[in-house]
Amino acid sequence: MDKLRAVLSGRDGNTDSTPNIIEAANEASTLSWRTRVRGFGVCMGLGIFCSILGVCCLFFPKIGLILFIVFYTLGNICSLTSTLFLMGPLKQLKRMFDKTRVIATVVMLVCLVLTLCAVFWWKIFALTLLFVILQAIAFAWYGLSYIPFARDAILKFFSTMCKMCIKCQCD
């Protein structure tokens, strides 16, 4: 069984060799499927709760917008963290920075950081709202990258809509 496990994990089948640091860390941090699903559920639930709480905070005078931005960004971070439980951190990070989704990942992470910088350090609310909108679009685009042909369908839809609008304006 150990030989089969070694072959499936990418080692050459030679059990005498010691695993490198990444393999050792990956083997030491393996969780059972049940624990992974629970971790995913807790993080995803916390992310959804923070996002909903952020929307509810919009109705507070003066501080509501700041609370919305903080809770919405925290909810996105928790939702993103939840996916690390399902695949494992190394595999998920490799998939996040795959050539098909590297732009969406970088834009999403940069917008997460810039949103918090704009609200706490720069205190420019128009810029903060722009970053929240970009954050939502980038997070959606990143999520769509895991669904086969979803991004192509969205691009085709908007392309068709633009052509229809141009045609209507010309007539």
Residue 113 tokens read as 């950081």
Which residues contact residue 59 at a Cβ distance below 8 angstroms, ignoring those fewer than 6 apart? none
Q: Among residues 84, 80, 88, which one has the least CA distance to residue 26?
A: 88
Which residue would you say has higher pLDDT here, 12 or 122? 122
Which residues contact residue 30 at a Cβ distance below 8 angstroms, ignoring those fewer than 6 apart? 88
7 confidence band (pLDDT: 50, 70, 90): very low
Which residue would you say has higher pLDDT here, 13 or 91? 91
Of 11-15, 28-32, 70-74, the least confident:
11-15
pLDDT at 4: 47
Is the distance from CB of 132 to CB of 113 less than 8 angstroms?
no
Which residues contact residue 154 at a Cβ distance below 8 angstroms, ignoring those fewer than 6 apart? 144
d(CA 115, CA 121): 10
Angle at CA 164, nearest 5°, toward 163 and 169?
100
pLDDT at 41: 93
> Tens of pLDDT along 75-117?
999 998 888 888 888 888 888 898 888 998 999 899 999 988 9
